[in-house]
Every structure is written in structure tokens, then in C-alpha cells.
Structure 1
């Protein structure tokens, strides 16, 4: 507990402490974390013209969520081989480690890594794991994988992703989730895939309550049995749902910077993360697709600190929540706890 007056303005020393805390991130899309310079370089190597997805300053260029998805998939299109994904993994973890992340869970889709074929997926996964192991040794950052299906690719395609997840479940592939366009279909359409992943021992999450309202979050919990929700911020519109999330210990993977850039909320001051927390809902902080949204984990922490007057003690609590909600095994959790200096 901090003895600081919560109403006192933060000092530069307070902000420095917040910025430099070790961090746990639970919501990171593997391809969405690709630095634009990495993707541009790969496109040049492969003689692929994706210049339209970049602004003049070299950053990703999109307007709104659906355009973001199309730019995301265009950028992903140059990632063709397991070696490409190994290099991508190294680039992602270098950037995360620079921002103090000591543990991250990344959403990785077999749709982009082998087209949903189990044996091809194994090849991609092997390359990603080798790069992750090297990063853990050299940078002190631990990565675990959460296999994701893509909602707008449909329920049948999701079954192929779930099979890939089930066939490689273990100490590294630790969860199953769903991303993509939340306005396509229903959460319950994907119950078969989630049942397959659950039977394989994987822990479950899904994107919900970013674009659709609180009923989407409720359906995700009740139809799919998830224990985490990607985003979930629209739950704030239903007090009874907030109560249910708190009672069931469902954890929200909140990405404030992403929500503001994409227009879910007008500004960080309008964002409901503090209200959700005050209602007893367990919240964590992540970046989602950081280079797309011009953010880092350090930026997320500092911006929230400035906006909400949260000091380092609040972020230590959020990190504890994130570590408790991580899908990894106990030995990994204990090792990460030491890095966070959590007793």
C-alpha cells in the first residue's frame, strides 16, 4: 500500500516510477505488434508492394476499425514462412522488453501461420518458440501463445484453428481466443471450437464488448465459458453485468490507447477503466496492436497515470491481477512474480 495522498498531483518522480515498473501484458496480437519498418523491409525483400498501408512518415495508415482490419491483413500478407515469424517474434519481444514487459501473452492465428493445417502450424510454432526462448535468455522477457480464430472468417474455419490449438496445447500454447470483426455472427456460433479447446486443457478468452454492447460480453461468458474478455469495456453500460463479472472473477484485458484511437471512446478521460475497477471488475492494461495505435506499455502506464492520477501502487496491483489471470503454468508464474518483485 502507498502512503501517498491519492488526491495529490503526481510528481515527475512518480511518473518515472510508473514508467519503469516491470509489466505483464495479456492482450497483444502477434502480427499487430509488427513494427512498420520490419514489415516494410520484409515487403522489399519479397518484392511485394504494400505501400498503400503506410503513411508518408512510415507508420500504418488506416481510418476506423474495418479499414484497420484490412490494413492489418495486408501487412500480415508478407509474413510467409516460419522464419519470417521467428524474425517477427524477435522484433516484437525486443520492443516489449524495452518498455519493461517481463511477461506477455500473444494472440497467434493458425490462419496466418500455415492456413489452418496442423503440420504447417507446428512448423511455424517451432520457429516462434525458438525465437521466444532466445529472447527470454537474452532479454528477460517470457512469451506464451494464445491461439486465436478469426471471427469474420466464420465458425467452420475456427474449428481448424481450434484443432491446431488442441494438438499443440501444453506449457507454451496455453490458451484459445477469438479476434476479428465483432459485428460478424454471434459468440455462441463458435461454441464447438471453444469446447474443443477446453477439452484440450486450454484456458479461454475472446474479444467482446468493444464494438457491440454489454450483451456481447454476457454472451461470451455464458455461451463460451471464458475466464477473460478482450476489451470488455462496454460492460460499464450494464451495472448487473459488472456485478456478474466481479462475482465470477472474469478479467478484462483492457487496451485504453487502442479504444481511443479506434474511436470507441473520444479520449482517455472518457475511458471507463477506472469506473470498471471501482465496481469491482478485475482489469488489466495492454496495448493490443501497439505500432498501429502509436503506443507502448510504457505509454499506456504513463498516460493512465497522468489522466487518472494513478501512482505506481495502482499499477503494481494491476500487474498482480494480470499475473494471477495469466494462462501460464505455476512455475512460469512464480518466475515472473520474482521479476515483478511480488512477494
Structure 2
């Protein structure tokens, strides 16, 4: 078995960002919405830089307007993930895109997404859990509405809360109320930091928001003291190497710091972030890491073990997924 064929765990996946371009084009066609401006001639998403990426991302969301749209989207995402050997995934879901932050509408969207996830688990053997995210550039007040939606639907399926969006807007600490609300509801916590924000953004996320995972976090490598702190605290980084390379943080996989972070004792996992936007899959991430660092099956097994330990799921689910990982 090659490393690309190994069963995989993915902790950092944006739901709308995982939408296959063909799916969005089909939905736009059905709804007679012109989205031609966000696609290249080959049909892939067209963006230049992170700010433009966010604009294209939100434009694609314009055709995702109903629970049924999200049910279909969830099936499309999970079919692609399962085809790449993913046996457990956590997806970032924003109430801002699922009902505009209204709790009643959010429940309808969530029911549709869960229904699709249950169908995919029966048919494809992949388990999905939801992490509600607020959107940083929508501001702290809107984040409170997302946190309330998360708190009201926390349970066996909605198991975490986090924050995505533009790291250049505000500070992590500005969103403390939303994270406190989610924590009090029993949700596990993560947030994007250390991607376009420097090491201080990671330090602030850990110390002020009390998160146990960091989305990306790779720029922590620029501060040796922070690297030691992350290792000592046992914080898990949701690393997305392909995304970081495409968005220009690093020139290529060989210059990516994931191996140095891991060698320093920091817990790392591997994910795709927004795979069709960044022309990647979990198979490709494994292949490129194998080529760049010589990682073998035992290295990826250790990374998956780390990811499973950090997963925001109950122990029964963890045990079930562990059995899938062992079938190699």
C-alpha cells in the first residue's frame, strides 16, 4: 500500500470551500445565476491572492441558499473525501452562510447537512462532525450570533467552535465573548491563527481564547519560544501545506515548516483547507509530504493518531474511527 492509499483523518475543511467547482456551476445554472466571473476557462476557481480568494469564496456561496442545497453539497464533499481515503472529517460550518445567523433557519440547514452525513456514513464509511465557525471579518457582534447558534445545537454532531476569515481584521481577543459562550456549552475550541498573522496571533489565540487547536499555526516556527510553548501545552496544529504554498506563504512543500514543527514536538495534523480552490486532495497532500520529507507509512500513521486524539468527537466515535485506521 502506498502512502496515498492510507486511511486519513482531516480536521480542517471549510464546507463551502470544499464545494467542487462543477457542483457550484451546476447549481448556478439551475438557479440562472451568472457566476462565470469566478471560474477560469478550465472550470476551476479563479482568484489572485488571499483577499480575492475570500471574495470568490463568498461569491460561490451566493447559490447556496437552501437546506437542500447544503444537503447536496455535503454529499458531494463527502464523496470526494471518501474517494481520497478520508475516514473521519470535521467541517467548518458558518451560520452566516446557513440562514444568516438565524437560529431557526440554522437548525433547518443543520438537519439537512446531518441527513447527508448520515447517508454518506452508511454508504461510504466516512464519519463527519461539525465545527461551527464565526467569520472574523464580519466582526465580534456577528460572531456572538454564530456562537449562540453553536451553543443551541451543541451535542454529538456539532462538537466544536472556531473562527475563520481574514486574520488582518481585529484581534483574537476581540472575540472572547463568542468563545466563552461556546466553551460554556461544552464545545471544543479552535481558531485560525499563524497563517497570515504572525506568531503573536498564535500566542494570543492560545492564551486569550483558550483554544486547544490552531487552524494553520505554521508561522509559530518564527518564534522558538512559542514553538516550545505549543509543544508544552499540547496544542494541535491543523496544518494545510498545499493551501499555504498556493497562497504564497512558502515557495514549495520542501520549504514548509510542518516537518520542523513536528520534530520540535508540536502536534501536527494534515488537511486540505479549501481543496478545489488550492488544487489539492488529501491524497496529494500525502504524496507531496512523502516527496518533500521522505515520510513513510509510519509517519502518516503517527500524524493520524495525533489527529484522532485531537478530534472533536465522543469516545465511541473515536474508537470506531480507530478501527478504520487499523485496517491497513
Sort the TM-score into its range (normalised by shorter chain): over 0.9
Separation in structure 1 between the aligned mates of residue 121 and residue 170 of structure 2, nearest angstrom: 38
Residue matched to 1:278: 263
SS of the residue corresponding to residue 215 of structure 2 reads: strand
Q: 1:65 aligns with which of 50, 65, 89?
A: 50
Answer yes or no: is 1:224 the counterpart of 2:209: yes
Task: State the Cα deviation string for residues 161-195 of structure 1 (Å, max 9, x = none).
Answer: 00000000000000000000000000000000000
Residue matched to 1:328: 313
With structure 2 as the length reference, what TM-score do the two structures score?
Answer: 0.99
Shift of 1:266: 1.2
Q: 1:165 aligns with which of 150, 153, 163?
A: 150
Task: State the Cα deviation string for residues 56-86 of structure 1 (Å, max 9, x = none).
Answer: 0000000000000000000011000000000
Separation in structure 2 between the aligned mates of residue 243 and residue 226 of structure 1, nearest angstrom: 16
Shift of 1:121: 0.2
Residue matched to 1:148: 133
Shift of 1:342: 7.9
Residue matched to 2:246: 261
- Pairs aligned (count): 328
**Structure 2 counterparts to residues 176-325 of structure 1, below 5 A:** 176-325=161-310
Q: 1:126 aligns with which of 111, 115, 121?
A: 111
Residue matched to 1:105: 90
- What RMSD over aligned residues (CA atoms) do the two structures have, in Å? 0.9
SS of the residue corresponding to residue 87 of structure 2 reads: strand
Separation in structure 1 between the aligned mates of residue 197 and residue 28 of structure 2, nearest angstrom: 35
For structure 2, the 5+ residue unaligned runs are none
Residue matched to 1:47: 32
Separation in structure 1 between the aligned mates of residue 323 and residue 254 of structure 2, nearest angstrom: 33
SS of the residue corresponding to residue 149 of structure 2 reads: helix
Residue matched to 1:11: none
Shift of 1:212: 1.2
With structure 1 as the length reference, what TM-score do the two structures score?
Answer: 0.95
Q: 2:77 aligns with which of 75, 78, 92?
A: 92
SS of the residue corresponding to residue 302 of structure 1 reads: helix
Separation in structure 1 between the aligned mates of residue 202 and residue 326 of structure 2, nearest angstrom: 33
Answer yes or no: is 1:175 the counterpart of 2:142: no
Separation in structure 1 between the aligned mates of residue 271 and residue 126 of structure 2, nearest angstrom: 15
Shift of 1:23: 0.3
Separation in structure 2 between the aligned mates of residue 268 and residue 24 of structure 1, nearest angstrom: 20
Residue matched to 1:10: none
